[in-house]
Structures are given as C-alpha cells and as structure tokens.
Structure 1
Amino acid sequence: ATIQPLANSIGVNCQALTGRTKGKMRADLLTDLKAGKISILVGTHAIFQSDVSFSNLALTVIDEQHKFGVHQRLNLQAKGHGVDLLVMTATPIPRTLMMTSYGDMDVSRLIEKPAGRQPVNTTVLPMERFAEVITAIKRAIETGGRVYWVCPLVETSSLADLVAAEERFNTLTEHFGSRVGLVHGRLPETQRDKTMSDFANGKFDILIATTVIEVGVDVPEATIMVVEQAERFGLAQLHQLRGRVGRGNKPSNCLLLYATPLTKTAWARLNILRKTDDGFRIAEEDLRLRGAGELLGTRQSGLPNFRLAELPVHAELLAVAQDDARLILTQDETLQGERGKALRILLYLFEREAATSLLRSG
C-alpha cells in the first residue's frame, strides 16, 4: 500500500516532493511545508535542497540507505532539532553494520519475505558461457517468462555505461528480434517510463538496463535476472537487482556473469550471494571483506583508522566500551566532571570532537 491513501483515511496531510515537482506547485508545497500544513513529506533527493524547510521535523525515514551518502543524511537531520532517524535497507552498508556493533544504532531485522515471493536460485558463471545463458533465456521465454539483463557498471563514465548497454542490446536483438527493450539513465523520463511499462505489459520479453531498475520495479512475470560483469557491482546492488525476480508464482533465477580472471576477493563476494539471500548475512560478509569505513567520518566502507586498537584482536572490548560510555553519559551527559573533562581532552587529541556529529547520519 502507498502512504497517501492511509494518511488520508486518518486525516493526515501527506505530499510528495521530487525532481518533477516544478513551478507554482513546488512553491506552494514548500510554503505549506514551512507553515506546518504538511504532516508527512515523501520525496527523493529533492528534499535535501536548501530551500526545503520544515515547520517541526521530528522523524526522518531513509529508505534504500545505500543510495545516500553520509553528508546527505546529515543534511536532512539538520533540517530539525533532535530528529529521530530510521534507516531501511535490504543490505546495511558496512559503516552502519559496525555502528550497530558499537551500540550507536539499534537494529531490527525483518526476516519474513513478502507474501507470494518465490526463492531465487543464484548461479555464478564466467562470460565464456554466454551461449548457454542465451539458451536458458530462450527456454524461459517459451514458458512465458521475462528477463532483465543488467549491463556492466563503469564507475568513471555514465557514457561508457550507455555504450555497454547499447552494444548488448544489439547483440540480443540478433537472437530475439524486436522483443528486446532498452532503458538507461540518459533516456528522457517519459521514454524510460514507457519502455518499463511496455516490458511490464508483455510487449518486450527482455529488458536491457543499467541499474535504473535496481528499485521500484515489480513485474511478476520476470523470472530471470542476468547481471553482466557482476564483479563490478556492490553486494547491496546485486542483492537489490536479484530482488526484481521471484515476485510471481514461477521459480526464478539470478545469473551473475563475471569476466575472467577473477580475483579471490571478487569470487568470495559473488559466492556469498550464491549461498544466501539474507541481506544481513550479505552485509556482514561485505563488512568482513571491505571494512567498516569511518564511524566518525564520511567513508562508508574501508578499513577504519584506529590509533590504538585492532578490531579483529580487541573485538571483545567493544561491549565493555559500550557499557562504560553509557555509564559516563548517564552520570555526566555534558562531560563537565573530572572524568568527563579528561574524555573531552582525549576527543580533542584524537581529532574526534567535532566529528561525533557524523554518528547522527546513520
């Protein structure tokens, strides 16, 4: 269910703000928001803009957490005072997972899958088996299935992403003719929406795409997800892409194609997806392989730069440190006592005093 009908049924004003909200409509919405006439605002990155002001922001809910950076989450928190934060994701980023270990963030795990979801069988294959993949796709289409084909991610160039998608479109058109559609980030929104709609309605059997299909796509007839050069994608992205299939009543498959040779670490990352569909377990493996990033910084992965501790060696001290920190804050919240002043000096010496605000970003 969407939020607006539920809100309307109890007399709560719920509005949406996106990049498509323009002109007078946007101006009126921002005026009502600042005046406190809007109780719930649902939006995209457009909410982060400086002219978006809330009357009394009390709670922020960030869905698909891995899509947002630390500064973006902080920016939203700064639009209110003492704002509570709820972040939601199928796979927590390593930094957030470590924050839960440190006691800086509580976690709730929703283990149950939505009703009607089918298990997705995940297979990891080298690109050299491309011909076998084409054969498997033909069999799926013959039984009424539809296919997503996600092209390799090229971090340095969105143009390179586009070229890769168009090349694969031409290749698959040779095998499947006009039953192949193409969407990518450079298409006008109206054209992209039409192509997605045509795929959902059965005009296309195969949809070639970049990661624009990562979220918000629901086609129950889709039974195969192919991710080309999967080693270039993050685990959270791959898990999200896999979630696009298995939404109907037919068995579904996710094929992760990789370019050889594959490093040991890259194989370990892909293999965890083959072994489990538990987003939390995937996140834990991501944490082990990539590191947690900076809890008091903006890096969301990578090995933390501790001065005196080594997490693998001193992990058991985390619980002790948590209890001690909570006791200190209970007895001396502003750190004005004798021990509190010593802690303030330590924070200053380790250049962490100003950075503690970053914990509020999630």
Structure 2
Amino acid sequence: MRPEALFDYFSDIERLPGIGKRNRQAIEKLAGTRTRDLLFHLPTGLIDRRYRPTVAAATPGSIATLEVTVEEHRPSQNRRAPYRVICRDASGELTLVFFNARGDYLRKQLPEGEVRLISGKVEHYLSQVQMTHPDYIVAPENAAELPAVETIYPLTAGLSGKILRKAILAALESVPDLPEWQEPSVVAREGWMPILDALHAIHEPDGPEDLAPRSKARRRLAADELLASQLALAIVRERTRKKRGRRLQGSRHIRDRILAALPYKLTGDQKTALDEIVGDLESDRAMLRLLQGDVGSGKTVVALLAMAAAVEAGVQCALLAPTEILANQHLETLQPLAEKAGLRIALLTGRSKGKPRQAVLEPLAAGEIDILVGTHALIQGDVAFKDLGFAIIDEQHRFGVQQRLALAGKASAGIDVLGMTATPIPRTLTLTVYGDLDVSRIMEKPPGRLPVDTRVVALDRIADVAAGIQRAVASGARAYWVCPLVEESEKLDIAAAEERYASLKGMFGPRVGLVHGKMKGAEKDEVMARFQRGEISVLVSTTVIEVGVNVPEATIMVIEQAERFGLAQLHQLRGRVGRGSGKSSCILLRANEIGEVARARLKIMRESEDGFLIAEEDLRLRGGGEILGTKQSGLPEFRLVDFAEHADLIELARDDARLIINRDPELKSERGQALRHLLYLFERDEGVRLMQSG
C-alpha cells in the first residue's frame, strides 16, 4: 500500500487551480497527470523582473518593470497597423504596442488616467521607448500578482507558462512534508534541505544559481531519485542472490557442433563473454549478468552457445524478446545452427493460437523442446516447461520486474537469467540502470563486416539523394528511408511517412513499401517479408524498424531530418545496414539551419561507428534529461538527474543502497519506513512488492 503521506502527491492535477479538461491533456503530454509529475517538471531558466528603472533609464533589450500613468489610446485605422497606448512617468514617455488587438479589452486593462505596473522587454524604436505585448499589466494594489522572479518551463502546444506556473506553485502548497530518508551524516555533510524545501527552492528561485545542477536543491533531488533507483535494484539483486542457482555443467558436445557449423571463428570478445556466462552457469549462485553488444556484434550466436551449454546439462531454455519481429528474427538466426547441432527449437508469440499453439505447448511440457523463443506469450499461465533452467531476456530494460519474476516462476528448481541489450549504455548509466550486474561486453565487430560510409547532406539536396537511390535500386540495391520524428506525435510521424511514401512511389512505382507503428502486426510483417524477399526495393518507415530488423541485402539507409533524432537512435538505425558483405552507406539528411548540439551529434555519427563511444558522447551532449532517447529505448527516465553533473551521486546512492540492504533488508527500521516513501514517490515500488512477495 502507498503510504498515506503520499496520497496528495499522487492526486490528479485537475484539482489544482487553472487546470481543466482541455489543458489537462497538454500537461499530461508534457509531464503527467499527478501532482508529483508537476513537482518533478523542473524549470530550465528564469526571468528576473526586479529591475525597476524609470522609463528614460531603462536599458534597451532588458526585461524591466515600469510604473507609469496611462495617457491615451491610439487605435489604428488600418487592420495591419498596431494599436498603441501612450503612457508616461516623470522621466519620459513609453509606447505600448499591440498587434491584432481588441480595443475594448485593452481599455479595460489600461484605463486612461490610471497608474499601472507594466513588465516586459524594453525596445527603442525611432528614439521612442516602447514595449510590444507586455508580459504583465497590473494595478498597483495587485502588485503581488507580478512575480519578482519568474521561472521558465518546457512547454507544449495549448499550454501557457502562466497557467503551468500557477498550477506548480499550487501543487507545492498542497503536499505535506515527508520523512527524511537520506543518511543523516550525508545530509549534514552536503548541507541538504528536506525534499519539499528543495522543490520550493527550485520552483521559487532567488536567482539562476538556484537552478544550476550543482545547487544544493538540485543535488538533493538528484540524490533522492538515484537512491530510489539503486535501492530498488539492490532489493531485486538481493532477492535473486538468495535464490540458489543450479550447477549446469555441460559436456561441450552440442557447442562443438555449433562452432563447427559456423562459417567464421568467434571474435575474442565473443569468446570472453561466452566463458563468463558459462562460468556463471557452472557455479551454484544465481546468474546476474548483462550481455551488452553493439548492433551486429554477434550477441545472438553467444546466446545460442550459452543455451547449448545449458541444454547439455539437461535443462530447457527460454529466449524472451520484446516484439514479434525480434522473436521471429531470433528464430531465423538460431534455427539453421540449432538444427545442425541437434537442438529442438520452437517459437511462441501472441499470434500462436489454437492448434499451432498446442503443437508447441504439449512437446514443451513433455521436455521435447530444448529452446523456446518468444514474446510476452512465454509468461502466460498455461505455458509449462518440463524443466526450465536458463532464460535470456533480450532488450531486458523493456521488461518489468514482475515479468521477469513470472518467467523465473516457470522454473521448478533454480534458474539462471541473462539480460541482453543492443543499446550501448555508457558506464555511468549502466550502474544507474542495472545496479551492480556483472556486465559482459562485445566490442569487436565480426570479421568481414565493412564500415558503413556515413554522410551528412542538407535537406535541399533531397532530389539528388532520391536520384542516387534510383540508380542504386536499378542495379539491385535495397534501401531504408526513415521519416522524421515529429514532436513525439505518432499521428504526425505517420503523416510524414505517408507523404514521403507517396512522393517516392511516383519515382519507384510499386517497389516502395511503407511500415509504421499503427499498422497491425500481420500487415507490418507482410511488408517486411516482401522487403526481405526483394519484392520491395525501398522501405519507407517511422522508427519501428529501429531494433532488430535483419535484411543483409539492404545497403542504403536514409534518415530524414536526422538532427531530430538522439545519437543512440541514429546509431541503432544505421546498424540496420552493413550487415551483409556489400558496401553500405547511411545518408543523414539535415535541415538547412541546425543548432550547435545537432551539428556536433551528426559530426560524431560521421566520424565513429563505436556504439559505446557514441553513447558516452550522447550523454555529454544531452547532459541529463532524456538519456539515450529513453522514450525509444525503454530505459527508465530520470527527471531530476543530470548525469554529467551528478556522476558522484551515483556511487553515493549505490553504496548507501548496499548498506541499507545489509542492515535492514526488510526496510522495517525508522529509516526503512521513510525509504518505503521514497520508493513509492519515485515509482520504484516494484522493489517493495518484491519484498512482500519474497
């Protein structure tokens, strides 16, 4: 149960002033629908309105608050000309300028002969002092409505800063203090204030220094978010550690057959990773390992050899993938090798129904299937293994603790679980996302892989790019064309993809296909299969092709408006080509004008194919925020941590989490009870549920 002190934090934002049905949707898209979501929506800057000069002394270009008397309204006769209001103080005249103005509204706001406080940007135009569309117009008796320091927040269409600010300040007043969960000695050493005071300091700052990542308030909030994450991971790890593994010692005969059937030798990294995994299988402790390997580094073969080692020891294996496309692809890669080695392998997805489903479930329960590949369908209640001993979870960050537990629950005795990911994660983040899992990394590319020639081309040369693809396709090439990400809106993404599909169809006729996220699984698979068979030469898509699609014959990747994508995502997309023996190229189409960070990002893509280096650079360029495109990669989103600035707090949180679990594994002490509040506040309560389930 969520502690009572948190009820107000999780209450709906519609109870706050100024939020109704209409702007609730905008806020939901931006931050979320609970009061805590607003409190964690941090400002990015501020406007200081404390500068209060006379009209004559106001510096051009500055934000100033001026006290003036309204003299005269000068409506325009021409609709295109602005409406002017003349005001003055003892030092001189100020003209207020309004476009598309409603005169009756302005006369009410600015009655002639009355004094008003006006705040906004001061401009000099033809030796006149003027202000266009002031931010605030306030009567002197209502001066409290004019904020001295005004925070600036990330916004979205249909939401004004004023409404958001008012709601956030009301949210701050509506929630109670919470018990202190940080170690007292750390609080004293760092000079940290309680969490609610820290939130007040950030949302009601005295100056820009209060918003800086190194400020005490920001460090306090980052430390809380990191401790919640590390503690949840430590609980999961502790529960897993307590479960004994099984000694799975194989005779090598199946592995030797697979190695003999491979058309190439394993790389050094593949061998090392395999040795580490097999070492875990052979020990009697439960495995806690993550296999990290860049796109196309050969993780799947290592996974097959590890499963072969487990099958040699007499148990069954499961390979859990997040999507049907990925599960199908794993089957296609593994099946030829598995069959040569005498391994019995089968597939189970949400689409397996009726007789075909029974044809998998019955032999599985009888122990006649060695390896079951599948999606979430694997963890459904009626799926029974005879003796599951080893499970591999691909793109493991996409599965929650509950799903992992459900899979482990299919084992009658101990089970070893290996996580696997193709998302290159910087070292600091690996700690944050996975706690202290043992990590095996495959850095080398398999032999014979040629580098992908990456070029950055301005969007106004799109016709040349299309003509180049036309020539390549005429000689048998296949190409992906990825459409831009539009403002987090799948609807607009699809519109952009459909438009590009229509224009390319004019050039290529029926040899163009389209895939997007709203298509049914069967439709998507059909288009992908036609692309794989070569019936389609150009595949237009939104980013649904990002993970796991394998068409070695495709040698061209075009990414439109590449500056809109995160580095990790660009790298994942580029990894769809260069998988065969042919020379491949990736064309990053960019807008004609782009910012410095986007330019730096595209430069890294041009210069490097090392996913881990790219991930480190991505972290450096983004600072904190939405790391590695968390929305795309499924990694947990950190809202208060800036990884470049708060790296020292990661170690602090890790060490503290270990200490807590050693001293108070059930979180029953006074501090333990406070830590339960922390886990719930940051929605890491899977950890608490796990404790209760034992």
TM-score by length of 2: 0.42
Among 17, 20, 45, the alignment partner of 2:348 is: 17
Specify the code of the residue in structure 1 equivalent to 2:408.
Answer: G
Q: Deviation at 1:242?
A: 0.8
Looking at structure 1, the residues matched to 360 and 589 of structure 2 have their Cα atoms a distance apart, in angstroms, of 46
Unpaired runs of 5+ residues, structure 1, are none
Q: Deviation at 1:17?
A: 1.0
In structure 1, the residue matched to 2:545 is 213
Specify the code of the residue in structure 1 equivalent to 2:538.
Answer: I
Looking at structure 2, the residues matched to 267 and 159 of structure 1 have their Cα atoms a distance apart, in angstroms, of 27
In structure 1, the residue matched to 2:79 is none
Query: Would you say the 8 A contact 1:15–1:38 is kept in 2?
Result: yes
Q: Deviation at 1:155?
A: 6.5
Higher relative contact order (CA 8 A, sep 6+): 1
Among 642, 647, 657, the alignment partner of 1:315 is: 647
Q: Deviation at 1:224?
A: 1.4
Q: Deviation at 1:115?
A: 3.2
Query: Which one is further off, 99-108 or 129-138?
Result: 99-108
Secondary structure of 1:107's counterpart equals strand
Secondary structure of 2:441's counterpart equals coil
Encode CA deviations 1:215-267: one digit per residue, 9 max, x unaligned: 44444442210012234444443222211212334332111223455444444
In structure 2, the residue matched to 1:63 is 394
Query: Would you say the 8 A contact 1:120–1:254 is kept in 2?
Result: yes
Looking at structure 2, the residues matched to 291 and 59 of structure 1 have their Cα atoms a distance apart, in angstroms, of 36
Among 227, 230, 237, the alignment partner of 2:562 is: 230
Secondary structure of 2:582's counterpart equals coil
Q: Deviation at 1:277?
A: 1.4
Encode CA deviations 1:134-173: one digit per residue, 9 max, x unaligned: 2332443355432211222347554444432232122123
Query: Would you say the 8 A contact 2:679–2:688 is kept in 1?
Result: no
Q: Deviation at 1:10?
A: 6.5
Answering whether residue 459 of structure 2 is matched by residue 127 of structure 1, we say yes
In structure 2, the residue matched to 1:247 is 579
Query: Would you say the 8 A contact 1:144–1:221 is kept in 2?
Result: no
Looking at structure 1, the residues matched to 487 and 389 of structure 2 have their Cα atoms a distance apart, in angstroms, of 36
Query: Would you say the 8 A contact 2:515–2:540 is kept in 1?
Result: yes
Among 624, 649, 658, the alignment partner of 1:291 is: 624
Specify the code of the residue in structure 2 equivalent to 1:115.
Answer: P
1:20–1:239 Cα change, 3 Å = same
Answering whether residue 502 of structure 2 is matched by residue 170 of structure 1, we say yes
In structure 2, the residue matched to 1:80 is 408
Among 22, 37, 44, the alignment partner of 2:375 is: 44
Encode CA deviations 1:175-205: one digit per residue, 9 max, x unaligned: 3344433344455656544544444444443
1:313–1:114 Cα change, 3 Å = closer
Encode CA deviations 1:4-63: one digit per residue, 9 max, x unaligned: 565566666533211220123325645665676655321124335565566765543222
In structure 2, the residue matched to 1:282 is 614
Secondary structure of 1:113's counterpart equals coil
In structure 2, the residue matched to 1:344 is 672
1:23–1:253 Cα change, 3 Å = same
Looking at structure 2, the residues matched to 163 and 108 of structure 1 have their Cα atoms a distance apart, in angstroms, of 41
Secondary structure of 1:250's counterpart equals coil
Looking at structure 2, the residues matched to 159 and 273 of structure 1 have their Cα atoms a distance apart, in angstroms, of 28
RMSD of the TM alignment (CA)?
4.3
Looking at structure 1, the residues matched to 380 and 569 of structure 2 have their Cα atoms a distance apart, in angstroms, of 26
**Matched pairs, number:** 347
Query: Would you say the 8 A contact 1:97–1:284 is kept in 2?
Result: no
Looking at structure 1, the residues matched to 588 and 549 of structure 2 have their Cα atoms a distance apart, in angstroms, of 19
Specify the code of the residue in structure 1 equivalent to 2:587.
Answer: L
Query: Would you say the 8 A contact 1:225–1:242 is kept in 2?
Result: yes
Secondary structure of 1:147's counterpart equals strand
Please tell me whether Structure 1 or Structure 2 has the larger radius of gyration of its CA atoms: 2
Answering whether residue 482 of structure 2 is matched by residue 150 of structure 1, we say yes
TM-score by length of 1: 0.73
Query: Would you say the 8 A contact 2:456–2:606 is kept in 1?
Result: yes
Query: Would you say the 8 A contact 2:425–2:612 is kept in 1?
Result: no
Looking at structure 2, the residues matched to 340 and 187 of structure 1 have their Cα atoms a distance apart, in angstroms, of 49
Query: Would you say the 8 A contact 2:426–2:612 is kept in 1?
Result: no
Query: Which one is further off, 152-161 or 119-128?
Result: 152-161
Secondary structure of 1:137's counterpart equals helix
Unpaired runs of 5+ residues, structure 2, are 1-300, 302-332
Correspondences of 1:112-123 after superposition (within 5 Å): 112-123=444-455
Query: Would you say the 8 A contact 2:335–2:345 is kept in 1?
Result: yes
Encode CA deviations 1:304-350: one digit per residue, 9 max, x unaligned: 547xxx86566356557656765776xx47548xx995763563464
Query: Would you say the 8 A contact 1:124–1:255 is kept in 2?
Result: yes
Percent of aligned positions that are identical: 51
Q: Deviation at 1:208?
A: 1.9
Looking at structure 1, the residues matched to 417 and 689 of structure 2 have their Cα atoms a distance apart, in angstroms, of 13
Looking at structure 1, the residues matched to 499 and 563 of structure 2 have their Cα atoms a distance apart, in angstroms, of 19
1:300–1:240 Cα change, 3 Å = closer
1:4–1:131 Cα change, 3 Å = closer
